[in-house]
Amino acid sequence: MIKVLVNAVAIWVATLVVPQVDVTASDTSGRVITLLVLGALFGVVNALVKPIVKVLAFPFYVLSLGLFAFVVNALMLELVDWLSDSLGISFDSGPFLWSTLAAAVVVTIVSMMLNLVLPDRSRERSVQA
């Protein structure tokens, strides 16, 4: 659940920082629910699709010294955009080149900062066992 909240907050911050990235809802509670669903969807995409893309794109990671990770994150946001349209959720990651790349950078940085601050329960469980 914490990962979903982290993803939702990261996407929310991206909508605030990057002008063409948008989540629309009729009211505040609808926007919060939409962000939570997007956070869960982004988590599923990152868990299922991203590892496959990372393996296939390994040479690009090496050639770009890891900067290709932002392109992969942007692709994951585009995939979430496409899936959310299919599910009837209003999320727009903007045109791919600049806005989606900028949103990927924001989501990566915010997620990294929140994961440093928030406890990881899976790590706590493995230490206790």
Q: Which amino acid is at 118?
A: L
Q: What is the pTM of this model?
A: 0.85
State percent of the chain over pLDDT 70: 92
Confidence of residue 118 (pLDDT cuts 50, 70, 90): confident
pLDDT tens for 7-62 read 999 999 999 999 899 998 888 888 999 999 999 999 999 999 999 999 999 999 99
- The full length of the chain comes to 129
Angle at which helix 101-117 crosses helix 2-17, to 10 degrees, equals: 140
The reported pLDDT for the residue numbered 24 is 86
The DSSP symbol for 22 reads: E
